[in-house]
Amino acid sequence: MHPGRDDVRVVRADAGHGPPACGVEVSTALCEHFDRSRAELYEIVMATGLRTFSSIVESHGRGRGCDVCKPAVASMLATLAGGHVLDGEAATLQDTNDHFLANLQRNGTYSVVPRLPGGEVTGEGLIVIGEIARDFGLYTKITGGQRIDMFGARVEQLPVIWRRLVDAGFESGHAYGKSLRTVKSCVGTDWCRYGVQDSVSLAVALELRYRGLRSPHKLKSGVSGCARECAEARSKDFGVIATETGWNLYVGGNGGFTPRHAELLAADLDTATLVRTIDRFLMFYVRTADRLQRTAPWIEGLEGGLDHLREVIMEDSLGVCASLDEQMARHVADYADEWAAVLQDPEKLERFTSFVNAPGAPDPSVEFVDHRGHRVPAGMKQGQPTTVPELDFGPRVIGGPRLPVRSSREVGV
């Protein structure tokens, strides 16, 4: 630690007993290669216009980077510079999931998650997904975010699978990225007799607006069509609940290790004001949060908390709203599906192979077994019971020991 340096803050350690304790220095540096915090480095990159990791580390850091700073800078550049995450030098910065645009699973295979905006999918779309799952022997699971996850794809199968999905009109669901995942929705006024606003249309519009937005951590959202809250919007990073006159916006919720309910940021907003407020909330979060910091702890760490956040993005107390609006408008205008771009680029397609000297050859170590009629990784179920003993609801004696029963012949009847 270096006292007085601007990447260090001092925390009081005394508890009011005995002599005052010395302060404890806590570094806010991104990693050993950058003395600045993530938020400070983001501002530097935005102000200087630097667009490669090598130029950023040369100007404001040291060394060659690491698995901490490289993905963090890659995320910043994706937001500020646009372009494909696998273009040029950017490809070397990505972590395992972004490297193959899919989630790595425990047996070395990958999952495939097409986007289903607002949870909507047509019958034709379901048939395509079902045919792909059947043809490639994939395990399918309905997720908590109203999507269909297909597990067990080998790396060389990913482009073939995505070719069929893209041709059918699907796009990347970004389940692998630190970005927007889903906008969950109830059926709202389309079908529900209690709905007071069109929650499905709003959820679809929000998901299509913020898809692909790279951020310090994953983002989840939900839109409920009435106060009954079937979309569980208050457990999301930003959630919307319909009212008779508009929309209530909640921010800072999440599940995970430390579940938090989102708090009310603004009430009875019209749709245009709601979207503008969410735009600014997300971009301010992207600018100022620490690496891998969800929205809840980010808001808790803001001096002034939710009140300060409200002043910044609704009253423009820092004079940054025009910049936040501009950044979001640029993101919306520049969005392009990452998997569709990969399929059009032979150079990018070359990375999807298990063995560089045998393209297309499957990894022989990847094995599966049958479990409840589904294919699952072999190592997990071999030698294990096919049911959980405690939940095996076969015949049971529930009234104490079994009593002997004598027939009528035995008793002389």
- Domain C-terminal end among 300, 319, 338: 338
Place 22 in a pLDDT band, splitting at 50, 70 and 90: low
What's the chain's average pLDDT?
A: 89
Whether residue 149 has pLDDT greater than 70? yes
Distance CA 413, CA 407 (A): 9
Report if residue 102 sits inside a domain. Answer: no
pLDDT average, residue stretch 17-24: 54
pLDDT average, residue stretch 226-239: 97
Report if residue 365 sits inside a domain. Answer: no
The whole-number pLDDT of residue 403 equals 52
The whole-number pLDDT of residue 18 equals 46
Total domain count, the chain = 2
Residue 56 shares a structural domain with residue 202: no
Report if residue 124 sits inside a domain. Answer: no
Residue 318 shares a structural domain with residue 197: yes
Summarised one tens digit per residue, pLDDT across range 375-391 is 888 876 555 555 666 66
The whole-number pLDDT of residue 70 equals 96
- Contact predicate 354/155, CB 8 Å: yes
Summarised one tens digit per residue, pLDDT across range 190-230 is 999 999 999 999 999 999 999 999 999 999 999 999 999 99
Distance CA 110, CA 102 (A): 6
Three-state helix/strand/coil letters over 84-101: CCCCHHHHHHCCHHHHHC
- Contact predicate 70/53, CB 8 Å: yes
- Domain C-terminal end among 21, 36, 70: 70
Report if residue 241 sits inside a domain. Answer: yes
Whether residue 15 has pLDDT greater than 60? no
Summarised one tens digit per residue, pLDDT across range 241-270 is 999 999 999 999 999 899 999 999 999 999
Distance CA 69, CA 95 (A): 11
- Domain C-terminal end among 291, 310, 338: 338
The whole-number pLDDT of residue 387 equals 60
Range with lowest mean pLDDT among 6-10, 53-57, 128-132: 6-10
The whole-number pLDDT of residue 364 equals 82
Distance CA 137, CA 377 (A): 12
The whole-number pLDDT of residue 365 equals 84
Calculate helix-pair angle for 53-60, 69-80, nearest 10 degrees.
110
Task: Give residue 251's domain range.
Answer: 180-338
The whole-number pLDDT of residue 398 equals 47
Report if residue 99 sits inside a domain. Answer: no
Q: In the Cβ-directed half-sphere of 313, how many Cα atoms lie within 13 Å? A: 26
- Contact predicate 29/35, CB 8 Å: yes
Distance CA 264, CA 249 (A): 6
Report if residue 357 sits inside a domain. Answer: no
The whole-number pLDDT of residue 5 equals 37
pLDDT average, residue stretch 261-284: 98
The whole-number pLDDT of residue 182 equals 96
Higher pLDDT, 289 or 362: 289
Report if residue 303 sits inside a domain. Answer: yes
The whole-number pLDDT of residue 1 equals 34
Distance CA 267, CA 274 (A): 9
- Contact predicate 94/83, CB 8 Å: no
Whether residue 392 has pLDDT greater than 70? no
pLDDT average, residue stretch 182-186: 97
Distance CA 20, CA 58 (A): 42
Which CATH number covers residue 308? 3.30.413.10
Residue 186 shares a structural domain with residue 324: yes
The whole-number pLDDT of residue 255 equals 92
Summarised one tens digit per residue, pLDDT across range 54-111 is 999 999 999 999 999 999 999 999 999 889 999 999 999 999 899 999 999 999 999 9
- Contact predicate 196/158, CB 8 Å: no
pLDDT average, residue stretch 152-166: 97
Report if residue 388 sits inside a domain. Answer: no
List the structure tokens of 54.
Answer: 């090598």
Summarised one tens digit per residue, pLDDT across range 293-321 is 999 999 999 999 999 999 999 999 999 99
The whole-number pLDDT of residue 25 equals 74
Three-state helix/strand/coil letters over the chain: CCCCCCCEEEECCCCCCCCCCCCEEEECCCECCECCCHHHHHHHHHHHCCCCHHHHHHHHCCCCCCCCHHHHHHHHHHHHCCCCCCCHHHHHHCCHHHHHCCEECCCCCEEECECCHHHCCCHHHHHHHHHHHHHHCCEEEECCCCCEEEEEECHHHHHHHHHHHHHCCCCECCCCCCEEEEEEECCHHHHCCCCCCCHHHHHHHHHHHHCCCECCCCEEEEEECCCCCCCCHHHCCEEEEECCCCEEEEECCECCCCCECCEEEEEEECHHHHHHHHHHHHHHHHHHCCCCCCHHHHHHHCCCHHHHHHHHHHCCCCCCHHHHHHHHHHHHHHCCCHHHHHHCCHHHHCCCCCCCCCCCCCCCCCCEEEECCEEEEHHHHCCCCCCCHHHCCCCCCCCCCCCCCCCCCCCCC
Share of the chain above pLDDT 70, in %: 86
Residue 191 shares a structural domain with residue 334: yes
The whole-number pLDDT of residue 6 equals 44
Place 131 in a pLDDT band, splitting at 50, 70 and 90: very high
The whole-number pLDDT of residue 184 equals 97
